[in-house]
Amino acid sequence: MTLPAEKAPAAGPAAGKLVAEHVTVVFGHGRRAHTVLDDVGLTVPEGTTVGLVGESGSGKSTLAKAMVGLVRPRSGRILLDGAEVSGLRGARLTAARRRIQLISQDPNSSLDPRMRIGRALAEAIDPRRADPRAHADQIAAGLEMVALEPDAARRHPHEFSGGQRQRIAIARALVARPEVVVADEITSALDCSVQAEVLNLLARLRAELRLTMLFISHDLAVVRHVSDSVAVMHRGAIVERGDIYAAPSHPYTRRLLASAPSLPPKETR
């Protein structure tokens, strides 16, 4: 299926579709204050995918949440099409939010265990009424997109395996027709063959919908595969950008490359 993207006003070429400018996020107050993101700058140009790698607790997910407005930066700005979204409130925030969708990492927590799949997708299409009967076709098409049968709509999340649930979460984000997708570890719970499918699927949707994507993963091979450019995050700061595979310059990047669980090189098989 094809999902027509809403046409956004064209931004200046240098602006980037989604931009983080000097974003600092601090959790807690006073003595317990803990700086999670420290003056982070990141630009995702329209129609491209930027990969973000880094270790647990380095702040990748926090940056993802700040990008979509779930976390409010203490200072700095998030810009969508050149307009600041980080300061919005109320209805304008809601409107801006639907243009950026977050797909998160844990398939066990991304779906409401009490809600049938159909209703969860209906909620993504119409957040107020969430009536699955009114959007049956769209729901079926969304499930089809992630290789699930239409009758999955009638079932509850616990009836699916982890990988299937993650595909449903992806379908839910995509039926909302976002312009930007922030994908936080979305394939870490998937099998290779499904992962390959999802990665190919994302590539197709990127082209068809002119989707712009921030792709976060711990899997360097996956990030390398899907991204136009890669940024490395370490302890709340972006430490390296560009061609990290051929010539890693930061010591952390080298450590990251070294701890990737590896398969034997293809040639020997």
Partner 1 sequence: MIRSSRGLAAGLAGLGLIAVLAVAAPLVWGGDAAHLSGAAREGVSGEHWLGTDALGRDVLARTLVATRLTLVMTVIATAIAGTIGVLLGTAVWVAGPRVREIGLRLIDVMVSYPAIILALAVAAILGAGTVAAVVAIGVAWSPAFARLTANLAASVAGRDFVSAARLLGVPPHRILVRHLLPNIAEPLLVLLSVAFAGTLTALSGLSFIGLGVQAPSYDWGALLNTGLDALYTNPAEALGPAVAITLTGVLAGFVGDGLAAGADPHRVGIPGRVKKVPLPAAPPEDDGALLTVDGLCVSAGDVDLVDGVSFTVRPGEIVGVVGESGSGKSLTAMAVARLLPDTVTADARALRLDDLDLLAGAAPDRLATEIGVVYQDPAASFNPALRIGGQLTEVLRRHRGLGRRAARERAAEALDAVRITRPEARLRQHPHELSGGMRQRAMIASALLTGPRLLIADEPTTALDVTVQAEILELLREANRRDGTAMLFISHDIGVIASLCHRVLVMYAGRIVEELPVADLAAGRARHPYTRALLDATPRLDTDGDGGAELTTIPGRPPAPADRPAGCAFASRCALVMPRCTEERPAAVAVGTDHRAACHAVALTVEETAS
Binding site for ligand ATP (CB under 6 A): 160-163
Is residue 192 near partner 1 by the rule CB under 8 A? Answer: yes
Q: Determine the interface stretch with partner 1 among 9-17, 31-39, 131-139, 165-173 (rule: CB under 8 A).
A: 165-173
Is residue 269 near partner 1 by the rule CB under 8 A? Answer: yes
Report residue 185: phi and psi, to 5°: 55, 40
Give me the half-sphere count of Cα atoms (radius 13 Å) on the Cβ side of residue 267.
0
Q: Which residues of 126-149 are buried (b: 16+ CB within 10 A; e: fewer)?
A: eeeebebeebeebbbbbbebbebe
Those residues whose C-beta lies under 8 Å from the C-beta of residue 8, and which sit 6 or more positions away, are: 81, 99, 179
Least spacing, CB of residue 83 vs partner 1, in Å: 18
Is residue 147 near partner 1 by the rule CB under 8 A? Answer: yes
Tokens of 18: 């989604």
Tokens of 148: 């699930």
Least spacing, CB of residue 36 vs partner 1, in Å: 12
Is residue 2 near partner 1 by the rule CB under 8 A? Answer: no
Among 17, 65, 116, 135, indicate the residue that binds partner 1 (CB under 8 A). 65
Which residue has the closest beta carbon to ligand ATP?
161
Window 66 to 85, contacts with partner 1 (CB under 8 A): 68-70
Is residue 231 near partner 1 by the rule CB under 8 A? Answer: no
Q: Which is nearer to partner 1, 7 or 128 (CB)?
A: 128
Q: Which does 185 bind (CB under 5 to 8 A by kind): ligand ATP, partner 1, none?
A: partner 1
Among 33, 83, 95, 134, indicate the residue that binds partner 1 (CB under 8 A). 95
Query: Would you mind telling me the total number of residues written for the chain in this entry?
Result: 269
- The burial of 179, by beta-carbon neighbours within 10 Å (0-12 exposed, 13-18 middle, 19 or more buried), is given as buried
